[in-house]
Structures are given as structure tokens and as C-alpha cells.
Amino acid sequence: MMMVLDSKDNPLSTEALLPDTNERSQHLFIVRMWQEPSSPKPPGWRGSVEHVPSAQRLYFASLGDLNDFITLRLNSKQAAMAEGESS
């Protein structure tokens, strides 16, 4: 079991840390990053991001690609919600 502590090692209530799920749309993304060595240049960063609810994954070499993927997933959720409200 993981316990979250404040700066004085006092336990924090998880209720204070988590937003009210009834009032907000939520997404969960897992981002992994690693360095890839390359001989003539400084090591390059690579990564993957997974949108957990949809299980969609993207491998990326730039933060712009990471940003585009997250933006796409957030916008598609908003579009789906708006479509459901208009029905």
C-alpha cells in the first residue's frame, strides 16, 4: 500500500489529492521516456504514451508528437460528449 506524505512526513488524505470524479471528465495517460545513445551526436530521447481508457499507444521522438497525441485524445472525448448531449 502506498501512502502519500506531506513535507513533514504526515499522511495526507487521498480525498484531498483526488478531484471529485462526478464533476470532471478524466483521462489517464502513461508516459515513458528513455535515452537512445547515438555515436556522433548527443543521445536522443524517445518515448511512448498510452491513453489508458482506449489502450491507444504512440511512440514518439519529439515532445510535439506527445502533445499532439494528448490533444487529439482530449478533443475526441469532448466531441463524443458533445455528440451525446445533442442526441
Helix (H/G/I), strand (E/B), else coil: 34: strand
pLDDT at 33: 94
Indicate whether this model's pTM tops 0.75: no
Residue bearing the bigger pLDDT, 71 or 85: 71
Q: What's the mean per-residue pLDDT of the chain?
A: 76
Q: Which one has a higher pLDDT value, 77 or 83?
A: 77
Task: Report pLDDT for 22.
Answer: 57
CA separation for the pair 42, 36 (Å, rounded):
9
- Where do runs of H (alpha helix) occur along the chain? 14-17, 63-86
- Interval 53-62 mean pLDDT: 92
User: In the predicted model, what is the mean pLDDT of residues 53-66?
Assistant: 92
Strand partners, 31: 49
Q: What is the pLDDT of residue 23?
A: 57
Strands 44-51 and 56-60, by their bridges, are antiparallel
Query: What single-letter amino acid sits at 9?
Result: D
User: Looking at residues 53-71, what average pLDDT do you find?
Assistant: 92
| Phi and psi, residue 37, nearest 5° | -70, 145
